[in-house]
Amino acid sequence: MSSKIFPAGPILLVDDEEHFLLSAELTLSSNGITNIETCKDSRQVMQILSKQYYSLVALDINMQHISGIELLRQIVSSYPEIPVIMITAMNDVDSAVLCMKEGAFDYVVKPISNTKLVTTIKRGLELAEIRNENEMLKQSLLRENVEHPEAFQEIVTRSVPLRSIFRYIEAIAKTNLPVLITGETGTGKELFAEAVHKASGRKGELVTVNVAGVDDDFFSDTLFGHKKGAFTGAESERKGLIEKADNGTLFLDEIGDLSIASQVKLLRLLQDGSYYPLGSDIAKLSDARIIVATHRDIKTMQAGDTFRQDLYYRLKSHHIAIPPLRERKSDVPYLIDHFISKAATTLSKIRPTAPKELYTLLANYPFPGNVRELEGIIFEAVSVHISGILSLESIRKNIAVHNKERNSKDAVSLLDHQSNELLSFPGRFPTLEEAEDSLIEEALKRAEGNQTIAAELLGISRRALNNRLRRTEKE
């Protein structure tokens, strides 16, 4: 038996059959799961759970005193972060469905093979780890790397590049120079602007303006305000948002869409901190920190004379480039867990249990809409969710809808870029049969053995995949 304690929080096995408890404990211990506690009396379970943190609970359904179903309800209500596995001697579909609706992570039937017991427990522990790390990232992990983790608490990540960005933000946050934030649509540029503002310690507000599609007159009036009588309808003086952001931060989103005339006025503001309200010949000074963001390549736009070169270099004093979600797939499980909790709270619903296949399914999706797309997929699934386990079919339908919407210029460019890297033949050119076998093997690997997901990756039905696998076995 290994001397290593795993997992950090013990597993609680609950069954009134002492023989099963001894057998299960021996099986798990011999497979490296050594931190195990057992309980024969269901009346003691809630008291035991109140004393310390447990990684997982495995419950027999049919027990004296308090049934496993009733205990499941109590545990889900009091300790929703703990995965619960239900164990029964009856292969009853209705019982399995009821357990899942009540929030169980999985359901297994006695007699349980050693392999089935170990793999089920390990999957539950992986879920517990994701939930725990998702919470700890905002506390201990960030605290080890940045001085003010509270500035980044809205950004859910375990990505090393993003944590490097956090440290960079803290280093530049207290300067007065402008900040340029770039990244694809949906990467969370506004959250990073908020992080810069929070880390800066500025006492003023963060004022956000989306300048996409805004003409020069509206831009000037919105930002700089106007004097009474400056134009028809200006019946009173109006202060601009730049004044509202004094001693704070002004965040201009979609700066790549700003007109040339408005770019000149913004450049003047950046150069000397002064601006003119419409109808006034007296300049006002601003102490607002300017942060801008865009999904467009404004460096390339200079060549087409659609973005001023001097403004670009002025804005680029500090540059934050946010990587797309497809380049930090390790964040996907944590974001899924975060958005399920957020959606349940927002929609006033009981937090649903995530299907075991959900993480694998979404880990193989390219997310052209990035974090925002993932949030939308999860929110819509939770909105139609009734009870128990979150519908995987709902997730699949949403992905199909989003795939159809990817026929945009950005998505086509992305697919064109990826197509050059889809296949590579450094050695002997494979036969068609060899190529097919390799594709199936890779799809199953990415799908972690789930044939339904592998078939979706290959663009064929599960039956077609099964036929190919049977043919391979015969050969």
Mean pLDDT of 131-158: 72
Q: How would residue 407 be classed by pLDDT, with cut points 50, 70 and 90? A: very low
Residue type, 328: R
pLDDT at 140: 43
pLDDT for residue 419 is more than 80: no
Let me know: does 266 contact 298? Beta carbons within 8 Å. Answer: no
Element (H, E) at 267: helix 260-272
Interval 271-315: pLDDT, tens: 878 888 888 888 888 889 999 999 999 988 988 889 999 999 989
Q: How would residue 143 be classed by pLDDT, with cut points 50, 70 and 90? A: low
pLDDT, averaged across the chain? 85
pLDDT at 409: 44
Q: How would residue 236 be classed by pLDDT, with cut points 50, 70 and 90? A: confident
d(CA 299, CA 256) in angstroms, rounded, equals: 10
For the chain, how are helix, strand and coil distributed in percent, rounded to 5? Answer: 50, 10, 35
- Of residues 153 and 473, more confidently modeled: 153
pLDDT for residue 256 is more than 50: yes
Interval 88-116: pLDDT, tens: 887 778 888 889 889 999 999 988 999 99
Interval 306-357: pLDDT, tens: 999 999 998 988 999 999 999 998 899 999 999 999 999 999 998 998 887 8
Let me know: does 330 contact 158? Beta carbons within 8 Å. Answer: yes
Read off φ and ψ for residue 290, nearest 5 degrees.
-100, 125
pTM as predicted: 0.67
d(CA 244, CA 238) in angstroms, rounded, equals: 11
pLDDT at 191: 96
pLDDT at 406: 54
DSSP 67-108: -HHHHHHHHHHH-TTS-EEEEESS--HHHHHHHHHTT-SEEE
- Of residues 285 and 423, more confidently modeled: 285
pLDDT at 414: 47
pLDDT at 137: 47
Mean pLDDT of 156-162: 90
Q: How would residue 404 be classed by pLDDT, with cut points 50, 70 and 90? A: low
d(CA 325, CA 381) in angstroms, rounded, equals: 20
Which domains can be identified in the chain, with CATH numbers?
A: 11-128 (3.40.50.2300), 146-323 (3.40.50.300), 330-419+428-474 (1.10.8.60)
pLDDT for residue 1 is more than 70: no
